[in-house]
Structure formats: structure tokens, C-alpha cells
A and B are shown apart, each in its own frame.
Chain A
């Protein structure tokens, strides 16, 4: 799954909150039982103080951002649209940020585009970030009508025409989703005036696709008609973006049309290491029943294509399950990592690692903690989880702040500036977290930035005893980096785009001055 409608998670609070509250209640009763009236008064004071302590964590408009080893460089409000995937592209002598959006909200289904003066369904924002201190909003391309997950144009990838095998050398191609019904390719050579090139429609759903710019092979997360799952993979040859060629449908045995029995967890997104790496890492699940699937890319592209159980199994190298309480939103490969701790070992000093990021979907900790996992996949047939990372909840009373707390996604750029050194994780109300991943057996946080809320920041609600209770908190949704080292964090709760840079120890790890 993913991201669902925010109000959904309103309800998601209940069960966990009841258990949580019952534990708390038991603790409180324990205090009251101590010894009569004095203890009862003391207990009450403690409860009141705790209540005030929690409310003190509520962010307010005007509060400064919270930061360590990261600082704000620039900001765009993105027309107060709920943001998902940012992709930063070096285009000629410019740097352009393409940002996919979720659908609108109950309160504002179609925000007004100040450039046209008209309400437009959330789609894709195109922002010139050549000067990161002064982002220049160029264009909004409307997406599918619909609120939250039901509309918008969440996903975006960009390839240069002169990089694609059969592309127009003067074109720059943006691949985006169009709500749940289509994938679209636009020519954004002039990013202020995009032109639609091609469309792949007729789908039940879409999501976090991957596009290899050197081959044109695209792994499109789609809901193909007839498949038993909302999201699977359609492999396309988009080397000539004007003429998409379908290669095959792919999913897990049991998801294909006509199958019976249990239906495996749906796909969230793939990342390919291309023809040279010959691997595609698929993350399945969102916040539950997730697993990592390692696939032989060549067998996937060139093996038997009819979606039979045997043919779907054919390219799979291994499948590593997560706990049933965790899902896999992003499966980010980091092959060939030299591990300093293992440098003197006769074997195994270099490891292939995959960073797996779960997605939190419930507000106010209404589910098991969603976090970051590192898997050693050096022996591919026997991948093993080696470490994990989460933001300590008590460091910011994040379960009380409002909205989601937990991981969602990582940067996916493999540019040398940060690759295999630092990873950036979107952690919803805990902002963006910078991890030192040079030793993936012991990942360490070295910086963070939690943006300030604004007037545009949307509320997030839970139901407590039948009544809706809402809070306003930052919801850092996705993060990406560019080759220059700038970090782009976008907000699901309509706060906009924050362009960041590292400082101090974190900056030194990247080898930057």
C-alpha cells in the first residue's frame, strides 16, 4: 500500500491507542493505589505534568526548525500541494526539481495555481533550483482529479533524450504517473512549457516506478487489468519514449490472473542496477508483510513472459521476508561496500548491502514502528538483515506531535557525493534524518532537519473515544539529493519543499568542505 487518504489513519489510531492508553491507565492506577490520598494527589500532578509536557511538544507556527548538522538553504511552498517524489535533474546549465504530488485534501481538493489563477488538481510541480537559495516555480502540470491517494501524479523520473538509446537528442523526458490510471511521458526540454509525448493508460493503479536512462528500460508499478493485486510491475522499453513497447507483466506467483489461493503482498517499488549490475531489487508491502525480492534483470527481460507461476518464479534469485509488522517501501542497493571493520578479514571485507525503508501509514504511532533496515545480500541466495535504524521516539515525543512518525523513503540518487556514505531518510514528523552508512552493520545518525510548520501545513487527525482530534505537524514524505550535494525534502501535509545542506561532521563525511 502506501499512502492512503490521510483521514483514513484517523481511525488507525484506535486499537494501538487503546492498548497504549490501557498501559498508561494501568500505570496511573498503580500510582493511585500506592497509599491513599497523598499518593493520589501526587499521581494526579504527575499526570497533569505529563499532559502539559506532551502539549509542549506541539509545533506552532513561528517556531524555528529543529536541526543538527543540517541547515535550510531555500524553500518553495509548492502551491501548498501535498508532495511525494522529488527528482532533481541537471538540465543544460540549470538544475530543475520535478516534484510529484498526491491528490488534494477534503478542504481544498484543487488548490489554486497562482500562475494561472485557476484551481488545478494536484499534479507535478516544476521548480528551477539552479540557485537553491531562490527556487523559481516554473510550472504546475495538473494531475488526476481526486483526493489524497485517489488523485494527483505522485511519481516522477527524468531522462535526457541524448542519453536514451532512441530518444530525441534535444528532448528531456519526464516519466510521471497520472493518478491511478496512467503513466505519462512529457518532453520537458523547456521545463516551463512541457509537452505530452506518450501515455500508457487503462490501469487500476500506479506507484513508484524506476527508469534506466541508459537503456530506456522502465519498471512501471501498475495495476494491470486482471491481476489480483493492486500493484505489480509492467516492464516497458521506453528507449524511444514516443513509442513505448511493452516487454512483460511481472509479479509474484499468486498475483497473476486466474490464480487462486492466498494473494502475496503487493509491490511498492523496484530499483534496478541496470544492465551492468543485472539486478532489480523489489520492495513489497508498505507497513506490513513486507519483503525484499532480488531479481535477475536479464532473466526478467529476456525470460519466458507469459505470467504463469513458473515464469514469474524464473528470474527470482531470492526473497527475504521482513517481520509481518513491517513493509518495504524502498529497497535501495549499495553493492560492493568496503567495510572498514572487516578490512583485515581474509574474506568478506566487501559486502553487497540493500537498505530497506518501511513506510509508516498510521497517525500518532497507531501501528508497529516503521523504520530502516540494512540487509547483507552478498550471498544472494541467503540475504540476512544486519542492522536497523529508527529515530528515538523520546527524543522529540514524536508519537504525541501529530501525524505519522516513522520512516517513509530514502534518497535514491546514486551520485558519488553521498552514495554509500550518507543516506537521507524521510521520517514524517521527525523530518529528514542523515545517516552515516559507511558501516551498514552500524548505521549512525549524524544530522537531522525538522522544518517549521506554516499556515499551509494540513492537520492530521485521529479518533479518540469516537471524537476526531487533530494536530498539525510536519510530515516529511520524501527526500532526494542532487549531484551538488543539496538535499530536497518535501512535505505530505502541504508545507512545501525545503532545500537543505549539510554542516559540521555530516558534511565532512561526504568529503565536502
Chain B
């Protein structure tokens, strides 16, 4: 029995897994954004990553929560409409009471198409602005929720700028499988 090729393949596979794990643990760009613990209770999907940017750096405090949802049904149509964003984008994790501010827009992040929508959310401390983003790749989703004290345009701009950073794009790509 020729076992060395099998062993070599296994070590290569283990190395690959380590690389993926390293990607997943990689910190975002140091500076204005700081990673924090996933602030939400366990639900049907594994926890994602959460980041905070202070008012001094982002013009208003902003938090971004991002995680993959692997196994999504609309494989061919992708994120079909704003209702889909309402359903999947994790804005309900911030608050079950959210109201869209207007019709959403198409968006492309890390080469994944999707939709982005702004909401007003009610929190115990008062109203905040939230952004929901749902991106699709084949049959999987990457969802992002963001909240901040600024207006919708400000929170959206800060969230999209952060998601556009090389580190986060690399992480999202790895988390969705090497596409």
C-alpha cells in the first residue's frame, strides 16, 4: 500500500485548514476600527465578527456585524428584493423593531452582488440608524448589519468603507470558501 502520497495529501490539507483558520482570525486594519466580541445571543447561524469605530474616527460611533450564512435557497436569483434584506441581514439582531427608511439599493462588496437598505431601529437608549446588507455568492450569503448614531448616509458610508478594506474583503472571501 502506498501511504506516503496519502500522508502528504493529508498534511497539505491540514496546512490549508490552518491557512483558512488564520484568515478567520486575522484582525482587521488596525486603527479606527476595533474588533469586539459578537454581541448577540446564539441563533441558528454560527456567530460572526463584530467591529466598532468611535465617533472621533468615523464621525459618529458605528458598529458593524458581519457573518456568512452558508446554505441559502435563492441560488439562481440571489438577493431578490428588499424583503430579502429585511429577512436575512441580521438587523433584527440589533432590534426586532426596525423600519426601513426607504427603498434599498443594489450593492457590490468583495465581488459579491446584493442589496443594501437603511432602517430606523428602536433601542432602549433611543432611536438609532441601521444598515442591512445581504450579499450572495451562488447559494450562500454574507450578511452585514451596522448601526450608528449618525444619519443613514453616514453609517452607510462608514460601513461600506470598512467592508471595502483589503483585510475584511479577504476575510469575507475566505469565510465564503475560496471563491
A464 to B70, CA, bound (A): 14
Interface of B is mostly: mixed
Query: Known contacts A260-B100, A261-B99; is A11 also within 8 Å of B73 by CB?
Result: no
A226 to chain B minimum Cβ distance, whole angstroms, is: 9
What would 23 A/B residue contacts be, using CB atoms closer than 8 Å? A1-B71, A4-B71, A5-B75, A5-B76, A7-B138, A11-B70, A11-B176, A18-B17, A18-B24, A22-B21, A25-B14, A146-B76, A150-B77, A228-B83, A261-B99, A263-B92, A288-B43, A288-B44, A361-B71, A366-B71, A367-B71, A463-B177, A464-B16
**Interface mask (B128-140 → A, CB under 8 Å = 1, otherwise 0):** 0000000001111
Query: Known contacts A147-B76, A261-B96, A465-B20; is A15 also within 8 Å of B44 by CB?
Result: no
Instruction: Report whether B71 and A466 are in contact in the complex, using a CB–CB cutoff of 8 Å.
Output: no
A98 interface residue (CB < 8 Å to B): no
A290 to chain B minimum Cβ distance, whole angstroms, is: 9
Give the bracket for the number of chain B residues in contact with chain A. 35 or more
**Interface mask (B80-92 → A, CB under 8 Å = 1, otherwise 0):** 0001001100001
Which of chain A's residues has its CB closest to B87's CB? A263
Chain A residues within 8 Å of B178, by CB: 463, 465-466
A274 to B45, CA, bound (A): 36
Which of A44-52, A152-160, A340-348 makes up part of the contact surface? A44-52
B26 to chain A minimum Cβ distance, whole angstroms, is: 14
A208 to chain B minimum Cβ distance, whole angstroms, is: 14
Give the bracket for the number of chain A residues in contact with chain B. 35 or more
Instruction: Report whether A149 and B75 are in contact in the complex, using a CB–CB cutoff of 8 Å.
Output: yes
Instruction: Report whether B71 and A287 are in contact in the complex, using a CB–CB cutoff of 8 Å.
Output: yes
Query: Known contacts A260-B100, A324-B43, A465-B17; is A5 also within 8 Å of B71 by CB?
Result: no
**Interface mask (A217-233 → B, CB under 8 Å = 1, otherwise 0):** 00000000000111000
Instruction: Report whether B3 and A9 are in contact in the complex, using a CB–CB cutoff of 8 Å.
Output: no
A258 to chain B minimum Cβ distance, whole angstroms, is: 11
Chain B residues within 8 Å of A438, by CB: none
B29 interface residue (CB < 8 Å to A): no
Chain A residues within 8 Å of B37, by CB: none
Instruction: Report whether A289 and B43 are in contact in the complex, using a CB–CB cutoff of 8 Å.
Output: yes
Selected from A146, A229, A288, the residue in CB contact (under 8 A) with B87 is A229
Known A22-B17, A361-B71, A465-B17; 6 more pairs at CB < 8 Å: A11-B138, A11-B140, A25-B17, A146-B76, A263-B92, A288-B45
B38 interface residue (CB < 8 Å to A): no
Chain B residues within 8 Å of A18, by CB: 17, 20-21, 24
B29 to chain A minimum Cβ distance, whole angstroms, is: 24
B10 interface residue (CB < 8 Å to A): yes
Chain B residues within 8 Å of A260, by CB: 97-100
Chain A residues within 8 Å of B19, by CB: 465
Chain B residues within 8 Å of A147, by CB: 76
A325 to B47, CA, bound (A): 12
Instruction: Report whether A464 and B76 are in contact in the complex, using a CB–CB cutoff of 8 Å.
Output: no
A476 interface residue (CB < 8 Å to B): no
Query: Known contacts A4-B72, A11-B140, A260-B99; is A465 also within 8 Å of B13 by CB?
Result: yes
A230 to B81, CA, bound (A): 11
A66 to chain B minimum Cβ distance, whole angstroms, is: 27
A2 to B14, CA, bound (A): 33
Instruction: Report whether A228 and B86 are in contact in the complex, using a CB–CB cutoff of 8 Å.
Output: yes
Instruction: Report whether B7 and A48 are in contact in the complex, using a CB–CB cutoff of 8 Å.
Output: yes
A35 to chain B minimum Cβ distance, whole angstroms, is: 20
Chain A residues within 8 Å of B86, by CB: 228, 263
B67 to chain A minimum Cβ distance, whole angstroms, is: 10
Instruction: Report whether A12 and B87 are in contact in the complex, using a CB–CB cutoff of 8 Å.
Output: no
A14 interface residue (CB < 8 Å to B): yes
Selected from A150, A230, A289, A362, the residue in CB contact (under 8 A) with B76 is A150
Instruction: Report whether B138 and A8 are in contact in the complex, using a CB–CB cutoff of 8 Å.
Output: yes
Which of chain A's residues has its CB closest to B43's CB? A324
A453 to B87, CA, bound (A): 38
Closest 5 CB pairs of A and B: A8-B139, A466-B178, A288-B44, A465-B16, A262-B92
Instruction: Report whether B87 and A325 are in contact in the complex, using a CB–CB cutoff of 8 Å.
Output: no
Instruction: Report whether B10 and A47 are in contact in the complex, using a CB–CB cutoff of 8 Å.
Output: yes
Instruction: Report whether B20 and A8 are in contact in the complex, using a CB–CB cutoff of 8 Å.
Output: no
B68 interface residue (CB < 8 Å to A): yes
A410 to B45, CA, bound (A): 25
B6 interface residue (CB < 8 Å to A): yes
B43 to chain A minimum Cβ distance, whole angstroms, is: 4
Chain A residues within 8 Å of B70, by CB: 11-15, 362, 366
**Interface mask (A137-178 → B, CB under 8 Å = 1, otherwise 0):** 000000000111110000000000000000000000000000
A389 to B30, CA, bound (A): 48
Interface residues of A in 451-489 (CB under 8 A from B): 463-466
Instruction: Report whether A4 and B139 are in contact in the complex, using a CB–CB cutoff of 8 Å.
Output: yes
A21 interface residue (CB < 8 Å to B): yes
A184 to B24, CA, bound (A): 48
Instruction: Report whether B16 and A228 are in contact in the complex, using a CB–CB cutoff of 8 Å.
Output: no
